[in-house]
Amino acid sequence: MFTGGIGKMVQTIAAENLANIRLFTDDALKLLVELPDASIDEIYLLYPDPRPKTRHHKRRFVSPTTLKELARVIRPSGLFHFATDIEDYANWTLAHIVRSPDFTFLPEQPGGWHAPYEGWQATRYEQKARREGRMVSFYFSFPRR
């Protein structure tokens, strides 16, 4: 858990008097398995830990198990959004999506996945990556079948 980030989020929630936000600081899969079927319109996975070492790939968030749970909680025609600046993780995710019976990959144009989604607001991580010259990001939206 990133305590500083959680603390800042709690401060922002309090300062803006937001009542419709809940924070979950444990493994997201634990939360997913408790959510009701078809209860979410969209889920965003933004710049997850890429786990670059091959022996750690089994810990990547995108997996057959998590995709099954995402599909269960996202309503039909809902969206799973994914963003990363790690090409290997983008390829990993696409490979899992095209094998999934629950999601589709429908690119509108070649390379269109380098353009952010409509309404995108760059994360601090993305801004940092751009400053460091790692400007190639991947933005995918996968419709739930």
Q: The domain that contains 70 carries what CATH number? A: 3.40.50.150
Write the pLDDT tens digit of every residue in 57-80.
Answer: 999 999 999 999 999 999 999 999
CB 144 within 8 A of CB 105: no
49 is catalytic: yes
Domain tally for the chain? 1
- The values of phi and psi at residue 136, to 5°, are -85, 110
For residues 122, 23, 69 and 88, what is the CA-based torsion angle, rounded to 10 degrees?
Answer: 30
Q: What is residue 78's predicted lDDT score, i.e. its pLDDT?
A: 98
For the record, the structure tokens of 47 come out as 């710049």
Residue 82 lies in a domain: yes
Residue 119 lies in a domain: yes
Residue 45 lies in a domain: yes
Residue 12 lies in a domain: no
Residue 19 lies in a domain: no
Q: What is residue 119's predicted lDDT score, i.e. its pLDDT?
A: 85
Residue 78 lies in a domain: yes
For residues 60, 91, 83 and 75, what is the CA-based torsion angle, rounded to 10 degrees?
Answer: -80
**Considering the entire predicted model, what is its pTM?**
0.86
Residue 43 lies in a domain: yes
Write the pLDDT tens digit of every residue in 31-61.
Answer: 999 999 999 999 999 889 999 999 999 999 9
Q: Domain range holding 96?
A: 25-143
Residue 92 lies in a domain: yes
- Which residue would you say has higher pLDDT here, 103 or 49? 103
Q: What is residue 2's predicted lDDT score, i.e. its pLDDT?
A: 62
Task: Find the catalytic residue in 27, 49, 85, 88.
Answer: 49
Write the pLDDT tens digit of every residue in 132-144.
Answer: 886 688 999 999 9
